[in-house]
Amino acid sequence: ANKLLQRLFNFDKDNIPEKNIQLIQPYINSPAFQPTEIEKASKACTAICMWSRAMNTYHFVAKQVEPKRKKLAEAEAELEITMGKLQKARDELQGVMDKITELENGLNTALAKKEDLANQVEQCSARLGRAKKLIGGLGGEKDRWTQSVAQFAIDYVNLLGDVLISSASIAYLGPYTSDFRAKLVAKWHKCIEDLHIPHTPKCDLVNTLGDPVTIRS
């Protein structure tokens, strides 16, 4: 009995030979081979009857289900391949998106650098314009400075005679009239000329020590 039960439990229900199914069909179709009828004769045989009918039913159900199961397995395999391709496409797309992001960042950096360079060019152009104006103005001053330096050199040479006339005027001309002052200054000019003392022609107190701006005001 135990061996029989073990054989029933280990029965390969998924590979029942077709000829065995055909052999038991007369019994399956027989009204007498029903669990209720068999139970009348033997309860033990009732279980065998129910098992036999269950295996028969499973066989036909499995025949209908097996193609669908195979199609399901094929579909799952195809789905796995498709999902693999999809994942690969997603990875490639992510790589492209990362590259686009990198390029956009590079573009933004380049545009910012371009704008900065444009601002620098504008600033340099403005500075260059101001420098040209300054150089132009200084160029005009060059002649005046050159003349001033030349005049300073002459004045330096004539400083002794000019200061001599001016100091004498301060010391001695105060009490006299303007006409007499002029005569004295003329004599002093003659004296320093005779002594070959360098001096500015017709130098006097006003020209040597006077400030033209103060005098005008």
How would you write 104-158 as a 3-class SS string? HHHHHHHHHHHHHHHHHHHHHHHHHHHHHHHHHHHHHHHHHHHHHHHHHHHHHHH
Q: Is 162 exposed, middle or buried (0-12, 13-18, 19+ CB in 10 A)?
A: buried
Contacts of 95 (CB under 8 A, 6+ apart): none
Q: From residue 32, how far is each of 36, 55, 105, 199 by CA, in Å?
A: 9, 18, 86, 164
118: tokens are 């444009």
| Spatial separation of the C-alpha atoms in residues 181 and 206, rounded to whole Å | 13
What is the pLDDT at residue 213?
A: 64
| Spatial separation of the C-alpha atoms in residues 45 and 17, rounded to whole Å | 23
194: tokens are 């005779």
User: Does the pTM of the predicted model rise above 0.95?
Assistant: no
Q: From residue 134, how far is each of 128, 131, 142, 207 by CA, in Å?
A: 10, 5, 12, 33
CB atoms within 10 A of CB 39: 15
Identify each DSSP E strand in 23-67 by its residue range: none
What is the pLDDT at residue 87?
A: 93
pLDDT values of the chain reduced to their tens digit, one per residue, 217 residues: 577 778 878 888 888 888 988 888 998 888 888 888 888 888 778 888 899 899 899 888 888 887 888 888 889 999 999 999 999 999 999 999 999 999 999 999 999 999 999 999 999 999 998 888 888 777 667 777 788 888 888 888 888 888 988 888 888 888 888 899 889 889 999 998 889 998 888 888 877 776 666 766 6
DSSP letter at 174 equals: T
| Spatial separation of the C-alpha atoms in residues 214 and 138, rounded to whole Å | 27
| Spatial separation of the C-alpha atoms in residues 138 and 134, rounded to whole Å | 6
